[in-house]
Amino acid sequence: MDLPIDKKEVRHVLQVLELAKQSIIKKDAFTLKELSNQTIHCSCTFQDTGSIDLAILIYSLSKLIERSDDQRIKNWPKLVDNISKIFDLAAHSLKNNNYKKYEKRLETALDMLKSSSVNLKPYIEEVIRKASINKASKIYEHGISLGQTSKLLGITQWELSEYTGQRSRLDDIPHEKLIDQKSRAKMAMEFFR
C-alpha cells in the first residue's frame, strides 16, 4: 500500500512515536507539546489523518500531565504502558508500509485515553476536543483553508473560527501591554477595597 506521507516523514514520525513514549513515561509535558507541533507540520503538508490523530493524542496527553490530571486517572501507569505498546505497534505498521493499520492504532490509543477513567470521561473528551481545535488552528495558520481544516479534524468551522479569532485578538496586543499575574491580582484587591 502506498503511504500518504513520504519516506523522510515516515522516519520523522517513527522518531516522534519513540520520543513521545519516553516523554509520557517521564511526564514531560513540554516535550510532548513540541512533538505535537512538529507533527502538525507533517499534517499540513500531507493532510493525512494519522499525523493529525498523533498530534491530537500527544497534545492531549501533554495537557493531562501539565495539569496533573494524570494523577486523577486511577490506572495511569497501565494506560501509559498500553499507549506505549500501541505506539510500538503503530511504528511497526509504518515500517511495513501499512498506513491503514497505523491510523487504526492511533484511533485505538485515542479511544483508550477517552475510556481511561469513567469518572473523568467527559473531562478527557473535552481535553481531546480542545486539543483538536488547538491543532486545527495550527493547521489553519499554515495556510490550509478553514473548510478543509475543519473537515480534516472533524470540528465545525464555527469552533475553529471562534478559536482563531480569540487567539488573533490576544496576539494583537503588544507583549509590553499585557499585565502579569501579580499585577492583575493587585488590581483586583484594590478594586475590592
Q: What is the full per-residue pLDDT of the chain (193 aa) written as tens digits?
A: 456 667 888 888 899 999 999 999 999 999 999 998 888 766 555 567 788 889 889 989 998 899 888 888 888 999 999 999 999 999 999 999 898 999 999 999 999 998 887 787 888 888 888 877 777 777 777 677 777 666 666 777 777 676 665 544 434 444 444 456 666 566 666 656 6
Neighbouring residues of 138: CB distance < 8 A, sequence distance ≥ 6: 37, 40
Residue 2 lies in a domain: no
Asked if 30 contacts 98 with a C-beta cutoff of 8 angstroms, the reply is no
126 touches 28 (CB < 8 A): no
3-state secondary structure 122-191: HHHHHHHHHHHHHHHHHHHHCCCCHHHHHHHHCCCHHHHHHHHHHHHHHHCCCHHHCCCHHHHHHHHHHH
pTM tops 0.95, yes or no: no
Residue 156 lies in a domain: yes
Q: How far is CA 4 from CA 42, 46, 91, 100, 153, in A?
A: 11, 7, 15, 10, 17
* Cell numbers representing residue 187 in the block: 488590581
Beta carbons of 51 and 42 less than 8 angstroms apart: yes
Is residue 118 domain-resident?
A: yes
Q: Does 105 map to a domain? A: yes
Domain assignment present for 92:
yes
Residue in the structure block whose three cell numbers are 490530571:
69
Domain hosting 127: range is: 7-191
In angstroms, the CA 18 to CA 21 distance is 5
The answer to the question of residue 11 being in a domain is: yes
Number of domains in the chain: 1
Residue 1 covered by a domain: no
